[in-house]
Amino acid sequence: MKQIEKIKTGKNYAAVNVGKMNEIIEHELPMGPDVTIKGKVFVGQAVGATGSELSFQTLVPGQDSGFLHTHKTHEELYIILRGEGTYQVDSEKFPVSEGSVVRVSPDGRRALKNTGRENLTMLCIQYRANNFTEADSPMTDGNILGDPLNW
């Protein structure tokens, strides 16, 4: 089983490596005494994220996410990094492929299936829904510093 590799941590950061995208399938996520999801790894806690959780998952051809699910308070962004599949939200189904981004509100009944001939790898970002305001825009929240870059 593949493990998250810690790269470096400091006062204001943490860096990890989950491996190459084609190695995500080697991760295993224990969900309970009788349930382990192959090809999934959560990363938020490993980097100490305080406003979101994120995971990578790989589905082999023909595999689906195993179940429909919803969330109590979390909205999710699914970003397809490789492969192609069918995404289902509520009773709607639509194709997704590399570069697709899907946002699902907490109540959306969601699942994903790999319908392609290659592995499908995605990144999922979870965060509390209805939390951002216009004041949180990257254009107003960011500060460009005058310090020179020193590589």
- Beta strand pairing call for 53-59 and 40-42: antiparallel
Instruction: Assign residue 28 the CATH number of its domain.
Output: 2.60.120.10
| Residue range 61-94, pLDDT digits in tens | 999 998 899 999 999 999 999 999 999 999 999 9
Is the residue at 141 inside a domain?
no
Is the residue at 99 inside a domain?
yes
Is the residue at 146 inside a domain?
no
- Tokens 């995971």 -> residue: 55
**pLDDT score of 47:** 97
Is the residue at 27 inside a domain?
yes
Work out how many domains the chain is built from and give that number. 1
**pLDDT score of 2:** 93
Domain around 53: 5-130
Is the residue at 140 inside a domain?
no
CA 84 to chain centre: 16
| Residue burial 14-51, b: 16+ Cβ < 10 Å; e: rest | eebebbeeebbbbbeeeeeeeeeeebbbbbbebbeeee
Is the residue at 139 inside a domain?
no
Is the residue at 149 inside a domain?
no
Instruction: Look up residue 75 and give its two tokens.
Output: 């909205």
DSSP for residue 98: T
- Output the tens digit of pLDDT for each of the chain's 151 residues: 899 999 999 999 999 999 999 999 999 998 888 888 899 999 999 999 999 999 999 999 999 998 899 999 999 999 999 999 999 999 999 999 999 999 999 999 999 999 999 999 999 999 999 988 888 888 788 888 999 999 9
Is the residue at 145 inside a domain?
no
**Cα separation of 92 and 105, whole Å?**
14
Count of helices and strands (H, E) across the chain? 2, 12
